[in-house]
Each structure stands twice: as C-alpha cells, then as structure tokens.
Amino acid sequence: MSDRGWRQALSDLASTLSKSVAEGVPEVDEDAVASAGVAPSVGYQGIKATLLGRNPVWAAVKGVWMSAGVGLRVAMVVGVVLLLLLNPVLLVVGLLALLVAAVVAGIRAAAR
C-alpha cells in the first residue's frame, strides 16, 4: 500500500470514529447538571474545561457558583468581602506576633 493509501485509510478511520462518537454521546443539558447538585456540576464543569484545554479549577469554582442557592451565594460574597477587609488586620497582627516572639527570644538569649 502506498503512503497516500495509508493516509486515506487513516483519514477514513478517523472520520468513522468521529461520527460514531458524536452519535453515541448525548448532548448534556447544563441547566439539568447545575440543578442536580454541587458535585455533579463541579465534576461536569471540570471535565468540560479539561477537554477544552482550560483551567479545570476555575471551571469547578464556576460550577459551585452555578449550582449554589441564593443563600450560599450571599454567604460566599460576604466571606470574600470579610476576607478582603480583615486581611490587612491579620497581617499586622501576624507581624506583631513575630516581633514579640523575636523580643522574647532575645531576652531569653541574653539571660543565659
């Protein structure tokens, strides 16, 4: 068989496989997946993003957001806002704790 014959045979095989996969895999209703719960939505969005070459973590976060109810969405927004507001305070408290630890270590080292 010539080189062109092999290429044609592989092309025919690929098109046949593509058609059978397209016919065998049903379309997925994304709204039905989102209403099924958090886990199916996260899984579906992650797999879909991976197959499309996108970031599956971000897609999973979007899946959680899509399947969450109004109460959970409000709680997530409030949590993010509180985290952004308290982050500088936590940084200052952490730095002060390190400063106190350094002073205590210095006093103990001088006492020996």
Decide if 37 contacts 55 (C-beta within 8 A). no
Position 82 in a domain: yes
Q: What is the pLDDT of residues 56-101, one digit of tens each?
A: 888 888 877 877 788 888 998 999 899 888 888 888 999 999 999 9
Domain residues for the domain of 95 are 69-112
Which residue has tokens 């593509």? 18
Position 104 in a domain: yes
Contacts of 73 (CB under 8 A, 6+ apart): 65
If one counts the domains in the chain, the total is 1
Position 55 in a domain: no
**Residue 9: predicted pLDDT:** 74
Position 40 in a domain: no
| Closest C-alpha to 38, from 14, 55, 63 | 63
> Cβ atoms within 10 A of the Cβ of 45, count?
25
Note if the pTM is more than 0.85: no
DSSP secondary structure code for residue 27 in this structure: P
Decide if 39 contacts 46 (C-beta within 8 A). no
